[in-house]
Amino acid sequence: MKLRSRTKAVLKVEKDVLREGQKKVPQILPATEAITASNAASPLLQLPQEVKNMIYEHVLPGHQVIHVEGMQSGQLTFRLSPCDEDTTEKEAELQFQTCPKDRDPLSTIMSDRHFECWDFLRDGTYAYFNAEDWPPTLDISLLSSCRQIYHEAKYTLYATNTFSFRSPETLRSFMWNVGRGPAANNIAIRNVHLSIGIAVRQDEYTWNKALSLLVKKLPCLTNVCVTVDQNFRWGRPQFGTSGVQRIFTDPATGNNFFLRGILELRKLPLSGLVCIVAKIGYPYPARESAREKAWRIAEDAKSQWTQAQKVEWARFVKAAVLKLG
């Protein structure tokens, strides 16, 4: 029974992929079938599929948060790095929603929990770092060993892990790459994490487009985690006060709704959504007077949300996307 339970998720994905993809492209090409027949003498490939799935799960990364960064060559290749953060998304969401009210009203108890991971990765550019200090990358060379193993093992990588993105350009490139060809790996992806940073209005527009494409390219997503990084000053000068004014709008139409692309997630068969609004703190003086602190809070209040507004917006989005009540 334990053998079956460990591979249940992978086997379910294989069935879903075949069902979703049978009208699009054949999942196994004739050449692949011929190679499979010639591989029949392999001791590994002669094992039952459930046993092979256990081996694949042991060799390939599984049940991890994987940060995806586009490389410099047109983002046709990607760097996959495991997340080092111990706090889960659910724990981070609980911290966010239960932030003590006696704290600075314009700060949260936590910032984006992946901030340090992203800050070090720096979009795949390591020219200013020693090679010894580079973050570890995931080894998925097993998928290159032979075509049959690729077709059998790829679901362990795509279906059990959470792929994390902080760049809408990298997200779009990744979706186009995994969705092309007969493999249709995009159908197998179930979990995605998005670190959405918005500094100017153009960032919001770009993320809205990426979210709309995500719904089309990853139609079988079941869990999405969204962290909106409030690392901006809406009052200087791109947004004026419109950012605060657009917090609460009926999401039925999406008109004048901040980050309205997130409402596209309603079209997915989601069973879970984590929504957090984080704030990356500014380097204010350690010893600021009460007058200076009051002035800072007043200035930030013109352009940023209070903690109560952050929580209310996140709950509003979650209820709208998951169709709760």
pLDDT in tens, 36-51: 677 777 888 889 999 9
CA distance 112 to 279: 7
Question: Residue 25: which pLDDT band, with cuts at 50, 70 and 90?
Answer: very low
Better pLDDT: 259 or 224: 224
pLDDT at 200: 75
Quick one: 173 exposed, middle or buried, by C-beta within 10 A (0-12, 13-18, 19+)? buried
Number of domains in the chain: 1
Per-residue pLDDT tens for 265-301? Answer: 999 999 999 999 876 555 455 577 888 878 777 766 6
Question: Residue 8: which pLDDT band, with cuts at 50, 70 and 90?
Answer: low
Query: Does pLDDT of 80 surpass 90?
Result: no
CA distance 152 to 143: 9
Question: Residue 207: which pLDDT band, with cuts at 50, 70 and 90?
Answer: very high
% of the chain exceeding 90 in pLDDT: 23
Closest CA to 221 of 162, 180, 276, 166: 162
Question: Residue 231: which pLDDT band, with cuts at 50, 70 and 90?
Answer: low
Of 41-50, 260-269, 303-312, 314-323, where does mean pLDDT reach its minimum?
303-312
- What would the mean pLDDT of 149-155 be, rounded to a whole number? 88
CA distance 108 to 9: 36
Closest CA to 164 of 192, 185, 145, 144: 192
**Residue 237, domain extent:** 2-281+288-322
- C-alpha angle with apex 59: 54 to 60, nearest 5 degrees? 100
Q: How much is the mean pLDDT over the chain? A: 75
Threshold 0.85, pTM exceeds: no
All residues at 6 or more sequence positions from 109 whose CB lies less than 8 Å from its CB, including other chains: 95, 96, 98, 99, 100, 103
Query: Does pLDDT of 322 surpass 60?
Result: yes
CB 3 within 8 A of CB 57: no
Query: Does pLDDT of 73 surpass 70?
Result: no
Per-residue pLDDT tens for 81-94? Answer: 888 888 888 888 88
CA distance 138 to 142: 11
84: which 2 tokens? 């080092």
pLDDT at 139: 83
pLDDT at 121: 57
CB 278 within 8 A of CB 108: yes
